Amino acid sequence: MKRRVAIGILGTTLDAGRGDDRWKKWRPTVALCQQPGLFIDRLELIHDVQSQRLVRQIIADIEQVSPATEVRSHIIGMKDPWDFSEVYTGLRDFARAYTFDPEREDYLVNITTGTHVAQICWFLLTEARFIPARLLQLSPRKEGRDDASGSHSIIDLDLSRYDAIATRFAAERDEATSFLKSGIATRNPAFNQMIDQIEKVTIRSRAPVLLTGPTGAGKSQLARRIYELKKAQRQVSGAFIEVNCATLRGDQAMSTLFGHVKGAFTGAQNERAGLMKSANKGVLFLDEIGELGPDEQAMCLRAIEEKRFLPVGADQDVMSDFQLLAGTNRDLSIGVKEGKFREDLFARLNLWTFQLPALRDRKEDIEPNLDFELRRFGEREGQNVTFNKEARDLYLKFAIAPEAMWRANFRDLSASVTRMATLAPLGRINEETVSDEIDRLTALWRAGDTGDRGGILQEILGADRQGQIDMFDRAQLAAVLEVCRDSNSISAAGRRLFAVSRLQKTSGNDADRLRKYLLRFDLSFEDVVQR
């Protein structure tokens, strides 16, 4: 038979009693151990440090009414028992540190004592299965009865047993996932499954979330929607702070992120709070986090783990309790291997990693996103623009064709819709407008496809990095990358690329020569073949 374990908060008012009169009063924590047919083997009693005298009295009284019940005391320091964030964090930390053994023990969470905020937090933690327990509600004795124990009821939060509640929660979950997708009825199964997981993580966890994927795949928009969902769930109250780490360069990077004190460096005439401080109680989105320098990475790690950091020139830490979202179009694990990204920071970020697919990999979602972009244009410009049927069919046929590269992903689609809607005669996109746009997109992709017919530069480097390379080098690099993809090893690729010079004995080690060539573009052979 399983041991029955109760978990509850000391009731500083109801549990107190005074002198000998305490036996005449209903005290829920003592009454818990007096319930007929509900023997408690162990009681985990949570309280603050100021209540230790009352705890000793309660333990002594329980020893009298139920000598076989073991009572364990747990001190959780909460300055304000009505602060939702503080109470939830304290109880969740208790649950995380506690060793549950559902195979041998049956757990009951007593929601009778504690503030209403604590009762709500108990419910949330139990419903989310952070605590594998049922809820216990005690009631005082009825008028005219002499027993001090009162009565009890047990609430099982296995929602599958309650059809009406289960249906309601399912509807709320669907509403949340739709919110994360900006109301777009996406059809790609893998993407929808990923959004379902993100919804669960958003509501149940405060851990960092890493969003990966190519440029333009929607990382920034999804990050903002995650923030808005957290805010709607009352999990954050602060601002959404977004920073593109690729724009942080030199000494200004530390100041931008962590702030500085007056006089910290030349030109620092005033104190600056920094973006991390601005994100206190909110969400900080570090886009392109792989671009951070080593010093910024070290400071970020400490800020994530300890919620504090040192502004430039300061001698005292600053606190900031933010939730972190990060984005990157790079494979950070390769950066770790190459010594460009801290392994400990990557491990901290990699708890929840979600890779957003490129638009060309979810072409069934182009049609609902087309409607979304038209609605967004109408809201932004105050114009209601629509397609005629023939024009819409023509555009969708082009958009989902294998030749449609969608190099910049949703940025390409958004820009395309904006152009057609702007040029549409009388707010109606016709076939001529679509034909012109198809020609424009085809020419745009062809211009970015010089020497890269398969789009391998776009895939590996991304649009931003590709645009920083001369057209002459792009053609050569694309050919080299294709050979790497078709080879089993870097040595095999080197033999194919340098076959002539090797026969003429004008080159050294083929693999080493290829490795040095790739390093010119901050690439390794593994970068190429693993993508």
CATH number of the CATH domain containing 93 = 3.40.50.10770
Inside any domain, residue 373: yes
Of 417, 447, 477, the position where a domain reaches its end is 447
Q: 248 and 257 in contact (C-beta within 8 Å)?
A: yes
Phi, psi of 296 (to 5 degrees): -65, -35
Q: 100, 131 in Cβ contact below 8 A?
A: yes
CB hemisphere CA count around 22 (13 angstroms): 19
With cut-offs at 50, 70 and 90, classify the pLDDT of residue 429. very high
**Those residues with Cβ within 8 angstroms of residue 236's Cβ, 6 or more apart along the chain or in another chain:** 227, 230, 281, 282, 283, 323
- Do 271 and 367 fall into the same domain? no
Residue-level pLDDT at 251? 66
Residue 428, beta-bridge partner list: 386
Q: Are residues 490 and 375 in the same domain?
A: no
From the list 6, 79, 84, the residue with the least C-alpha distance to 45 is 6
Q: Whole domain around residue 53: which residue ranges?
A: 3-157
List C-alpha distances in Å: 111 to 58, 284, 341: 17, 34, 46
418 and 470 both lie in a single domain: no
What are the DSSP calls for 102-147, one per residue? TTTEEEEEE-SSS-HHHHHHHHHHHHTTSS--EEEEEEPPPTT---
Confirm whether 196 is domain-assigned.
yes
User: For residues 311-330, b (16+ Cβ closer than 10 Å) or e, as one string?
Assistant: bbbeeeebebebbbbbbbbb
313 and 268 part of one domain: yes
Tell which phi-psi region holds residue 488, choosing left (phi > 0), alpha (psi between -120 and 50) or beta.
alpha
Q: What is the pLDDT of residue 344?
A: 93
pLDDT at residue 211, rounded to an integer:
95
* 92 and 27 together in one domain: yes
* Domain end marker among 157, 176, 210: 157
User: Residue 16 domain-assigned?
Assistant: yes
Domain assignment of residue 412, yes or no: yes
Pair (350, 245) in one structural domain: yes
Dig out the tokens for 413 from the structure.
Answer: 């689609």
pLDDT of residue 108 exceeding 90: yes
Q: Are 58 and 194 found together in one domain?
A: no
Confidence class for position 272, pLDDT limits 50, 70, 90: confident
The pLDDT tens digits of the residues spanning 48-59 come to 988 899 999 999
Average of per-residue pLDDT across 410-421: 93
Residues 287 and 196 in one domain: yes
Residue 34 lies in a domain: yes
Residue 414 CA to residue 434 CA, distance in Å, equals 14
- Of 130, 330, 57, the closest CA to residue 210 belongs to 330
Residue 163 belongs to a domain: no
Indicate the DSSP class of residue 245: G
Average pLDDT for 189-205: 88
The Cα 129–Cα 100 span in angstroms is 11
Report angle CA 197, 198, 204 to the nearest 5 degrees: 90
Structure tokens given for 201 = 């993580």
The pLDDT of residue 489 is 83
Based on the domain organization, do 293 and 310 belong to the same domain? yes
Cα distance between residue 14 and residue 4, in whole Å: 24
Report the amino acid identity of residue 4: R
Output the pTM of the full model. Answer: 0.57
Residue for token digits 């023990």? 105
d(CA 79, CA 50) in angstroms, rounded, equals 11
Are 365 and 469 found together in one domain?
no
Number of folded domains that form the chain: 4
Of the candidates 126, 157, 188, which is a domain's last residue?
Answer: 157
* Domain co-membership, 197 together with 270: yes
Token representation of residue 326: 């990060």
162 located within any domain: no
Q: d(Cα 457, Cα 372) in Å, to the nearest integer?
A: 29
Residue 341 lies in a domain: yes
Highest averaged pLDDT of the listed ranges 243-252, 267-276, 330-339, 447-456 = 330-339
Q: What is the CATH number of the domain that holds 219?
A: 3.40.50.300
Phi, psi of 155 (to 5 degrees): -110, 120
Mean pLDDT of 212-223: 90
Say if residue 98 is in the same domain as residue 211: no
